[in-house]
């Protein structure tokens, strides 16, 4: 979708927003899939309520992008514009055991930066691509930990209130790959409280998680991590593997040979290819195990 309304175009600079017309979403997603649309790069949080009012007044549908690492975007010219935060400098400020982190900060770099300052707890998330904001919204987790456990405060744009607010941790619920934030709330910043640990000890934990991940996940390939959530007490990857589906493909959308819950773009897969493969696997798992798999990946299609 193209923004051609002169009122919106004229207001963007004052609101601290840079317009990138015709951005290919395939360049902003780890799957390397997605059509084109206008991208609004937000440089100051304070401009967000006015920006959203403006887009809504003029009937411009919009979506909010984090790191694009858990996202499957549709093909062709997209029927909405995309907003994203520009990372400030610095993006992480430490004070004692607290880390104040901008939502646009890179998750892995933040984990490493905190580790170097003897703050641990987040070792499991090393190697998970994406931003802090995305990790927060999804309550990203791995190897027995989840980011929600360390959250003390979240600064967000509350769509329902149409304003920026700060929520305390006891006002938010964090569950497996799910949070109580509304779908159109925008994560802006978070304050984490992390346990003190010597860097060397954290590094050991990081090495172990890296090793586990390298041996079981297709890290060098274009993917969005796990496609399906694990149903309670079950493993989606194991069920798909047991059906012998590793390597199954629709065009260049392919089930990884290394981990059956990772679907990779082995070349120039389209969203349609990937969605067909996802639908096919859901059906087969449902038939064989009587289990309805739920998407873990976020789908923006239409
Ligand atoms: N398994 C198979 N075949 C496969 C894949 C897995 O038999 O192709 C078996 C494994 O041998 C193991 C079990 O299934 O016994 C679970 O596999 P794994 O330890 O790889 O973990 P997972 O449940 O598939 C979850 C998260 C990952 C996270 C890892 C490590 C979900 C959907 N996935 O995977 O998160 O990295 O644990 O903690 O919760 C993601 O969210 O995108 C993601 C990759």
Express each pLDDT in 46-56 by its tens digit.
999 999 999 99
Express each pLDDT in 143-176 by its tens digit.
999 999 999 999 999 999 999 999 999 999 999 9
How far apart, in whole angstroms, are the C-alpha atoms of residue 46 and residue 54? Answer: 14
* Residue 294 vs residues 165, 191, 227, 236: alpha-carbon distances, Å: 31, 30, 9, 10
- Name all residues whose Cβ lies below 6 A of ligand 1: 142-143, 216, 225-226, 229-230, 235, 237-238, 241, 259-261, 296
Q: Which atom of ligand 1 is nearest to the CA of 176?
A: 39
Q: Whose CA is nearest to atom 1 of ligand 1?
A: 238
Residue 101: asked if its preceding bond is cis (omega within 30°), the reply is: no
Q: What is the dihedral of CA 76, 81, 86, 92, to 10 degrees?
A: -90
Task: List active site positions.
Answer: 177, 226
Residue 219 has, within 13 A of its CA and on its CB side, a CA count of 11
Q: Which atom of ligand 1 is nearest to the CA of 228?
A: 32
pTM above 0.85, yes or no: yes
Per-10-residue mean pLDDT of the chain, 302 residues long, equals 97 98 98 98 97 97 97 98 98 98 98 98 95 97 96 97 97 97 97 98 96 96 98 97 98 98 98 98 98 97 86
Give residue 215's region: left, alpha or beta (phi > 0; psi -120 to 50). Answer: alpha
Distance in Å from the first CA to the final CA of the chain:
12
Q: Which residues pair with 142 in a beta bridge?
A: 145
Look up residue 258 and give its two tokens.
């290394």
How far apart, in whole angstroms, are the C-alpha atoms of residue 215 and residue 260? Answer: 13
């Amino acid at each position: 979708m193209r923004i051609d309304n002169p009122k919106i175009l004229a207001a963007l600079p004052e609101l601290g927003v840079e317009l990138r017309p015709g951005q290919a979403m395939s360049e902003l997603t780890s799957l390397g899939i997605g059509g084109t649309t206008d991208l609004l790069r937000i440089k100051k949080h304070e401009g967000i309520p006015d920006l959203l009012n403006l887009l809504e007044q003029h009937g411009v549908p919009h979506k909010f992008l984090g790191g694009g690492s858990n996202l499957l975007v549709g093909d062709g010219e997209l029927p909405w514009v995309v907003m994203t935060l520009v990372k400030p400098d610095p993006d992480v400020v430490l004070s004692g055991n607290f880390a104040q982190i901008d939502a646009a900060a890179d998750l892995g770099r933040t984990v490493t930066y905190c580790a170097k300052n003897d703050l641990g707890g987040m070792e499991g998330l090393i190697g998970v691509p994406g931003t802090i904001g995305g990790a927060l919204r999804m309550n990203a987790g791995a190897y027995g930990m989840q980011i929600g456990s360390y959250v003390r405060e979240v600064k967000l744009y509350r769509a329902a209130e149409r304003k920026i607010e700060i929520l305390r941790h006891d006002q938010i619920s964090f569950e497996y790959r799910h949070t109580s934030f509304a779908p159109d709330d925008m994560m802006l910043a978070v304050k984490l409280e992390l346990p003190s640990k010597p860097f060397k000890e954290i590094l050991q934990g990081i090495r172990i998680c890296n090793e586990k991940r390298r041996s079981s996940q297709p890290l060098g390939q274009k993917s969005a991590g796990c496609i399906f959530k694990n149903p309670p007490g079950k493993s989606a990857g194991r069920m798909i593997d047991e059906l012998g589906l590793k390597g199954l493909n629709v065009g260049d959308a392919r089930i990884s040979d290394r981990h059956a819950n990772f679907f990779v773009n082995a070349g120039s897969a389209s969203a349609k290819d990937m969605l067909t493969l996802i639908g096919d696997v859901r059906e087969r798992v449902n038939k064989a195990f009587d289990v309805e798999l739920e998407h873990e990946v976020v789908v923006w299609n239409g």
